[in-house]
Structure 1
Amino acid sequence: MLGAMQDWQLVVTHLLDHAGREYGHREHVTHWADGTETRTTWAEVRRDALKMTQALRAAGVGKGDRVATLAMNHARHLVTWYGAVGVGGVLHTVNPRLFDEQLEYIVNHAEDRVLLYDAAFQPIVDRLRDRWPSVTTYVCFDPPAEADVLGFAEWIGAFDGETEWTEVDERDPCMLCYTSGTTGHPKGVLYEHRSTMLHAMAGVQPNIFDLDSRAVMLPIVPMFHAASWGLPWAGAIAGIKFVYSAVNDPMVLCELFDRERVTHSAGVPTVWLGMFQHLDAIGKDVRDIGKLETAIIGGSAAPKFMIERLMKNGVRVAHAWGMTETSPIGTTGAYPWSWNSMDFAEQVELVQKQGRPAFGVELRCVDLDDP
């Protein structure tokens, strides 16, 4: 029976409405490849996302149309996540590290209408735009002063943000991510609003990302990789501060950790290894930079020495497993009720394992003889 007073569509624009209303002053920092930095807030992200929604409508983009990005981590990319879904469209984050043939296939297969990209990827756009017939609008996030391209600030600057999100159903699609094409062409995975909202609500929990409004998150995992592990969505629930770096240089990352007092970060093991090597070179350790409390490690299994080093520095290690097809959180190393009675070696051994399924995930172990 319909009609309950609590009925509420689980659509992802509610996330940004909440963050903009309750944590509007909370800032985000972007460190750009040229060394400059910009700062914005959740309220400004929401305003700019609404402006982008207007710009997309003016470009003829509507419900179900795909809006692609070819970009690294920065606040303008965050705006685009919400602006694309705000018009009822489907956000399509494209991995710029793929081969040209794969990029050509992905954009054409998705039939993207708009492509927003970093200036660093202008050569990719120049090579492939004639092979992307469905793309009618190109927007550069950070155009050089002399470039003859449409810049993001100029594009959305023509609008005032005085509009409403396009009304959608919670089972409508909101995001499209492609696998890396391990076998054959990359495969597209389509996420709906409802599943994305449930994933975000699970992600903030203590057993997963452990986020609250005090958190300062530096997500090293790219925003084009497996929905950035859901962090742009989950972060809005808690109203966290994002610290973005458009470059993954270990020295830059360590400096940002220290200066912005980063409490949470997420990345693959090779990124953490690079930071360890930089810290060793300057005679410091993890506890000497920032205020890191939680390190989320996924993408591949974290080696024992990495877990040990982080834990010895007082950092909680969230050892995660997932895949594009699971939105992507699958399991995390949840700490059991017996944790405090374990010695350090037992704790490390436990964290090395892949943990327990997140809420909403059901798993079954199979082998070739038991499909």
Structure 2
Amino acid sequence: MQGRMMQQPLLISSLIEHATRYHSDTAIISKNTDGTITTTNWAQVAENSKRFANALSDFGLTLGDRVATIAWNNHRHLESWYAISGSGLVCHTINPRLFPEQLIFIINDAADKVVLFDKTFLPLIKAVKPHTPTVAHFVYLGAFDQDVADAIPDVKFYDVLIANHSAQFEWPELEENTASSLCYTSGTTGNPKGALYSHRSTILHTYAIALPDSLNLSAKDVMLPVVPMFHVNAWGTPYAAAMVGCTVVLPGPGLDGASLVHMIDEYKVSIALGVPTIWQGLLAAAQQSGSKLDSLKRNVVGGSACPAAMMKAFRDIYQCETIHAWGMTEMSPLGTGNQLKAKHLQLSDDEKLNIRLSQGRPPFGVDLRITDEENGTNEVARDGHTTGNLQVKGHWIIDSYYGKSSNALSADGWFDTGDIATINEDGYLLLSDRAKDLIKSGGEWISSVELENIAMNHPEIAMAAAIAAQHPKWDERPIVIAIKHKDSQITEQDLLDYYSDKIAKWQIPDKVIFVDSIPLTGTGKMLKRDLRELYGNVLLTE
């Protein structure tokens, strides 16, 4: 016997329809590429998305065609998202921080038919255009601009397109497993790989990230997604914002600390989301300006581990709750969010902080396990101590990469993340390292993440990366590449001494190298591969 319930497909278009029906006058505040501010609302986003959907229809595109975006977080980009996916096309967000060769590879691998872009990326578009034969239309996300027209002779202008098209558009009732968006991995090894999401997986992911035990979103919030829309769909927050009907503050290209402090204070932001390097800049700017960030109640940290010192600063100076989250492009991306359980509420602040430093628990819809070998099926104990290979399965996790015929799962249907981790009795995940970043010294493993967290807790260290350096006796030994805070006088020995009472003596790094900058991926993660190429033989030459 079947249930007697309505059948409605889970579609992205239903999110924008809900937002405009029940939250029409809720503000969408957007910082444009030229620094000006545009304030619209959910009703206007919905109207313009329908106008642009009509424009896309005139391009002669068919179901499943890919439409790429190379743009900052702004209102036009948001409108285009709903137009593309809602009309049955695939929204392909591209990270402009990738190398031009990788951009060309991604556009051609996806066989994009249309590319939307902001003016910042005009030189990039001009450079890659001759090498992207599948692209029939380039659309500039703005009003008519002579510079853009001169650079890209056949370019179309977003504002002109929506002005010339009707706001009457019926969203098609698609099958819910229809592809909706395409995101590529950052390609730290080899070419980037595509993760193709469906409407169904996106809606289920949207429900999950809004839950109180995830990001705890509601219509009362003013959300600032600092994480770019080209980085795993801004962690899905533009969809969740429409689902709950909250105010959204889109920062455009202004991701420096001073700009973010201004946006938070000016628009009374209650929740902001970004990677640790973003929050370092924000804390420094807030301290310099004297801002108390009074409105900011929660900040979400993902992309890499959050140092304890950063969590303490948000908690003690700004009374802001830091939510540690973890995920991957292959997971849409949310895998876990760190919220306390009732039994933790009576703990001391330091005990709570110790729990908060883990990556948290999975929401319903994701399952985790630790196995004793990569792509293996033998699960190890959930005791918070036994490490192994982290595998995941769930409603919004890929089973294969875009354009690849081979399955990406283990023999019994789990996706191997490439992370080394533990899970405790309460389901809290603690990442030890990426498998490729572990340091094997004399047959024993050392976690680069643990070494980095210790260094980052030193008040005079702004950023630190721990890598394996080749060693004639021990095979590999850890070294730390660090950036000092401005005016710091810390020495190499000072930092090495700082490790002495925090880890076993044999795990203390052999060397500290101070640098002015550390190479980052397009999503703000440290490029350890590049650091190993630069410094991997430093102990052999001494």
Does the 8 Å contact 2:111/2:134 carry over to 1? yes
Aligned length, in residue pairs? 368
- Read off the aligned partner of 1:51 and give its amino acid letter: R
Q: Kindly indicate which of the two structures has a greater share of residues assigned to helix.
A: 1
- Extract structure 1 runs of 4+ deviating beyond 4 A: none
Q: How does 1:170-189 map to 2 (within 5 A)?
A: 170-189=176-195
Matched with 1:103 is 103
Which shows bigger deviation, 108-117 or 33-42? 33-42
Post-superposition offset of 1:235: 0.8
Distance 1:35 1:342, change over 3 A: same
- Read off the aligned partner of 1:278 and give its amino acid letter: A
Does the 8 Å contact 1:78/1:232 carry over to 2? yes
Q: How does 1:65-84 map to 2 (within 5 A)?
A: 65-84=65-84
Distance 1:66 1:3, change over 3 A: farther
Matched with 2:493 is none
Matched with 1:59 is 59
- Read off the aligned partner of 2:6 and give its amino acid letter: Q
| Unaligned segments of structure 1, at least 5 residues | none
The whole-number CA distance in structure 1 between the counterparts of 2:114 and 2:375 is 45
Matched with 1:318 is 323
Q: Kindly indicate which of the two structures has a greater share of residues assigned to strand.
A: 2
Post-superposition offset of 1:197: 0.3
Counterpart check, 1:308 vs 2:320: no
Does the 8 Å contact 2:65/2:113 carry over to 1? yes
- Read off the aligned partner of 2:187 and give its amino acid letter: G
The whole-number CA distance in structure 2 between the counterparts of 1:2 and 1:41 is 41
Matched with 1:273 is 280
The whole-number CA distance in structure 2 between the counterparts of 1:176 and 1:2 is 34
Does the 8 Å contact 2:338/2:356 carry over to 1? yes
| Unaligned segments of structure 2, at least 5 residues | 150-154, 377-542
Matched with 1:368 is 373
Does the 8 Å contact 2:144/2:159 carry over to 1? no
Matched with 2:459 is none
The whole-number CA distance in structure 1 between the counterparts of 2:360 and 2:47 is 39
- Read off the aligned partner of 1:45 and give its amino acid letter: V
Q: How does 1:234-249 map to 2 (within 5 A)?
A: 234-246=240-252, 247-249=254-256
The whole-number CA distance in structure 1 between the counterparts of 2:349 and 2:76 is 42
Kindly, what percent of the aligned residue pairs are identical? 39
State TM-score, norm by structure 2.
0.66
The whole-number CA distance in structure 2 between the counterparts of 1:281 and 1:243 is 23
The whole-number CA distance in structure 1 between the counterparts of 2:250 and 2:30 is 5
The whole-number CA distance in structure 1 between the counterparts of 2:30 and 2:365 is 33
Does the 8 Å contact 1:251/1:278 carry over to 2? yes
Does the 8 Å contact 2:308/2:357 carry over to 1? yes
Q: Specify the SS of the correspondent of 1:338.
A: helix
Does the 8 Å contact 1:262/1:291 carry over to 2? yes
Q: Specify the SS of the correspondent of 2:24.
A: coil
Aligned with 2:270 (options 257, 260, 263): 263
Cα deviation code 1:282-334 (max 9, x no counterpart):
234xxx12411111100000000111111223222210000000110001112
CA RMSD of aligned residues (A): 1.5
Aligned with 1:215 (options 218, 221, 227): 221
- Read off the aligned partner of 2:343 and give its amino acid letter: S
Distance 1:289 1:130, change over 3 A: same
Does the 8 Å contact 2:67/2:92 carry over to 1? yes
Counterpart check, 1:36 vs 2:36: yes
Cα deviation code 1:59-93 (max 9, x no counterpart):
01121010100011101111111000122000000
Does the 8 Å contact 2:286/2:293 carry over to 1? no
State TM-score, norm by structure 1.
0.96
